[in-house]
A and B are shown apart, each in its own frame.
Chain A
């Protein structure tokens, strides 16, 4: 298939196939082999580019990024990640489902699963309500506003800033007791009332806090277990091995076989983004297949129409030089500089020349002769004619228009007698 090409008018004789003695041309001097070769030479650069692009696309698609640098993410092997904890959980048979959107988290958080929320800083009110409304067990790391919605009666303060210190369980919760002592810091959880709400166990009291704050709380609310860890840094790769941190985290997160690991992101504002049915889901499968078929038909249509019956023949056209352009340019100069004098002089000279020719005044004649002849032929006053043909130049648009009108009038009135 030869690509349509534009060409200058052809050479008088075709190089490959000189016509025979009788002017007969048979074929174009090519064979299937030579045509294939020519095609290959023509498209090989395109092929190279296409292959390079294809390899690039494959490289972009295939090795999906298995590592990230997101803080507290289960695929982040750095110090601020939590890959170590996630891997140990996975080895213990817990399936970790890593999500970044509230919509996905809420959808995945069914009853009988555990939903880990690493922070609530980026959550909108609606998202917090949705997370609080799930039926899954919750593990909240350093919650702020979310805690109040999940466990009424508990609150947290601003945490962080201090070096982690050793804390003791000092409670009867089995998880806390198993951990024994942890290395953590934070503002901790405080009950809003005098007593913690019913079904709530508070552990790891923070020394020197008033009212007494606790780093860890477990509540049984609405038939689910809500665990709060006041220090999100506890599960990071850096600190998971400190003291009993690993035990506490593993026990808190490994209670159910399915763990939804939700790391909220700042750009996820909607609740149902990506979760609602798309346009494709709303179409019946027949329509989808037919659309695909229509695409194929359009492709065929394009192939049909794109193939030319021979190349476009171009032709060298003569240059276009408009001689009136110099005249127009001069007119524009007159106009921009408002040269009424020059314009009026040209109009007057033209009229005078035509009148003189018409009246048979010789070209060598001076102004007085022309004026006299015109006045005689037009039966006008000589001073009037002199003023019109040789008078002072106009100084305004209106003056020029007036002069032109009077000159035209004079020209139409004067005839040889």
Chain B
């Protein structure tokens, strides 16, 4: 049961009789009268439990994109239902206007739409639906909270897709340049065409030329159908906050951009999210099914506060990949963590595959590095400089093992990783 502002106003009107008969008995009598009216009103209200509720939720949406939760209320009771309905969601679902006034005669239905604007990836759950059914006088109400389960799936934002067109253009450019006429690692035979002046004479296919009247050259193009394995490290280092969000978020963005790019480039993309156990895995999806599968797999990947199991990661990689591939590790270039984790096992990976380590820099450290306001800012700057030098030193050690290192600020990571991929592809190092 609940009372409304009208009940309060009715109590306040009691000041009139109290002013006329100023004895405590009047106050008591008026209070009892108000309480009685409220109880009668609540008893006369339609039962909030006699409402059949059905919930429909929009399918998966991207982060920060609008979604909708629709409640269909069917009144099965006998008395007219005048109610306030709250469709409660967890806060990150962004259900701002979730209260609805309903006036429902018996037997009728009504649809209530609550706009959602999710601010968090993963599965967002609806809480209870609360119905506050007002009595005929509007003084008091009956209230019930009913579990009507509903889940809104929120996929990663993929804000880095704005970098995709320019990278695809570069990819096409590379394909056009394809006509790399020298055969080398990472290229494959493309076609035969007539010799034009300027072509490298070494690429003349004498056998084909002999069969025809013209001189024919062979052309080569960057290899396709290479394998790309993106490994997302979801261990404790991914929980560190860079700016407003955990380090994992830029990593997810980078993974999505790289997957989209590599899929367009004709490579076979697989994805693995791992800390001590497999958190998400996408394998065998290709073409138009790949990106939805990756977005769905990454939707509810969260950082977990455990140490990464690098031997486990290596074992997973070896298990999945039999031939040479590009292994992209989205992890942290944290000197201590790399020293104890990745560096011990990196040779097993780098000996068989091309390994890229992509890490998110902390913009705050960068900001500290340029601080010059006073002496304490200088000490901060010195410490930041030292941190940067240590990261650089670790990067150098990794490079000496044959690992490409991409260390970038959160918003730069995805394009930088894409560029690295394109550079490796252009160099035929995949």
Q: Residue on B with the closest CB to A31?
A: B49
Q: State which residues 2-43 of A face B: CB under 8 Å.
A: 2, 7, 9-14, 16-17, 19, 22-28, 30
**Interface residue? A210 (CB, 8 A):** no
Known: A24-B54, A310-B130. A347 touches B49 (CB 8 A): no
Interface centre among B51, B146, B242 (most CB of A within 10 A): B146
What is the bound-complex CA distance between A315 and B74, given in angstroms? 30
What's the tally of chain A residues with a CB closer than 8 Å to chain B? 72
Question: Does A327 lie within 8 Å of B365, measured CB to CB?
Answer: yes
Interface string of B360-378 (1 = CB under 8 A from A): 0010110011001001101
Are B383's CB and A328's CB within 8 A? yes
Other-chain contact of A289, B24, B99, B143 (Cβ < 8 Å): B24
A353/B389 contact (C-beta < 8 A), A324-B362, A324-B368 known: yes
Do residues B378 and A404 form an inter-chain contact, with CB atoms below 8 A? yes
**Separation of A13 and B14 alpha carbons in the complex (Å):** 47
Say which residue of B14, B144, B379, B389 sits within 8 Å of A293 (CB atoms).
Answer: B14
What 1/0 mask marks residues of chain B from 366 to 410 whose CB sits below 8 Å from any chain A CB? 001100100110111111111111001000100000000000000
Is A349 an interface residue, CB under 8 A from the partner?
yes
Assuming A285-B22, A318-B246, what are 14 further A-B pairs, CB within 8 angstroms? A9-B90, A12-B149, A12-B151, A28-B49, A290-B15, A300-B11, A303-B3, A307-B2, A309-B84, A313-B88, A315-B91, A349-B386, A349-B389, A408-B372
- Within B72-128, the residues touching A (CB, 8 Å) are 74, 76, 84, 86, 88-92, 99, 125-128
Decide yes or no whether B148 CB sits under 8 A from chain A.
yes
Identify the closest chain A residue to B16 (Cβ): A293
Q: Which of B15, B51, B99 is within 8 Å of A309, CB to CB?
A: B99
Q: Which of B27-35, B175-183, B321-329 forms contacts with chain A?
A: B27-35
Q: Are B241 and A320 in contact (CB under 8 A)?
A: yes
Find the A residue at minimum CB distance from B145: A310
A-chain residues with CB within 8 Å of residue B12 when the two chains form the complex: 297
Main secondary structure of the interface of B (DSSP, over half): mixed
Residues of B within 8 A of A11 (CB): 149
Query: Which B residues from 291 to 343 make CB contacts under 8 A with A?
Result: 302-303, 305, 334
Tell whether B280 is near chain A: CB-to-CB under 8 Å.
no
A residues in contact with B196, CB < 8 Å: none
What mask results when residues 48 to 73 of chain A are scored 1 for a CB within 8 Å of chain B, else 0?
00000000000000000000000000
A318 to chain B, nearest CB (A): 6
In whole Å, how far is B215's beta carbon from the nearest beta carbon of chain A? 42
8 Å CB interface, B1-59 against A: 1-5, 7-8, 11-12, 14-15, 18-19, 21-24, 26-27, 30-31, 34, 49-56
In the assembly, what is the distance between CA of A323 and CA of B127, in Å? 34
- A46 in the interface (beta carbon within 8 A): no
**Residues in B neighbouring A350, C-beta threshold 8 A:** 369, 385-386, 388-389
- The residues of B that contact A310 with a CB separation of less than 8 Å are 86, 88, 127-130, 145
In the complex, what residues of A have CB within 8 A of residue B34's CB? Answer: 300
- Supposing A311-B127, A331-B380 touch, asked if A19 and B27 sit within 8 A by C-beta, the answer is no
Interface residues on B, range: 35 or more
A316-334: CB near B (< 8 Å → 1, else 0) gives 0011111110111011101
* Bound Cα distance from A341 to B284, whole angstroms: 56
Query: What are 16 A-B pairs at a CB distance below 8 A?
Result: A10-B126, A14-B147, A19-B148, A23-B55, A297-B11, A301-B8, A304-B3, A309-B99, A310-B129, A311-B128, A323-B364, A327-B362, A343-B383, A344-B382, A346-B382, A350-B389
The B-contacting residues of A in range 287-315, CB under 8 angstroms, are 288-290, 292-294, 296-297, 300-301, 303-304, 307, 309-311, 313-315
* Min distance, Cβ A402 to any Cβ of chain B, angstroms: 11
